[in-house]
Homo-oligomer: A and B are copies of this chain.
Amino acid sequence: MSAPAPSDNPDFTKGDGLLPAIAQDAATGDVLMMAYMNEESYAETLRTGRAVYFSRSRNKLWRKGEESGNVQQVESVWLDCDRDTILLKVRQIGDAACHTGYRSCFFSRVTPEGLVEEGTKVFDPEKVYQKK
């Protein structure tokens, strides 16, 4: 995909240049994670077909899966009605989007008794993220 015309771009004037981006599994519909994109990461995502976010904690581009190998191949990109939220439908390589090893970052269900973890761990994070 090449970048569309500017008027069809997300409105990066909002949110100090960072917009929320939701990654959804294109096959199952599971919401996998939410992260942020700036204009550069959005353009690189469109250009490469792989999800690239902007890490607020590290203050730099975050090429999802560059360490774990669990990249997200982008099947389609959607904007919401205000053009200030991005939805990616992705194919999650490695079957897990979350650094904890869960398939989705949303594995904690709110119950009256507190959070309950649901779902299964796809990988052991200690084996995937080597200490350096």
Contacts and interface: CB of A to CB of B under 8 A. Distances in A.
Nearest to A28: B29
Chain A interface size band reads 35 or more
A80 B29 contact: no
Contact of A109 (B20, B76, B115): B76
Interface string A1-39: 110110110000000000010101000111101100000
B110 A78 contact: yes
B106 A34 contact: no
B8 A79 contact: no
Contacts of A112: 1-2, 4
A31 to B, nearest CB: 6
A5 to B, nearest CB: 5
Contact of A79 (B46, B77, B78, B115): B115
Nearest to A4: B114
A115 B4 contact: yes
Contacts of A98: 81
Contacts of A80: 33-34, 105-106, 108
A126 to B, nearest CB: 16
22 contacts: A4-B112, A4-B115, A8-B110, A8-B115, A20-B34, A22-B34, A28-B29, A34-B80, A76-B110, A77-B109, A78-B106, A78-B108, A78-B110, A79-B110, A79-B115, A80-B105, A80-B108, A81-B99, A81-B107, A82-B105, A83-B108, A87-B106
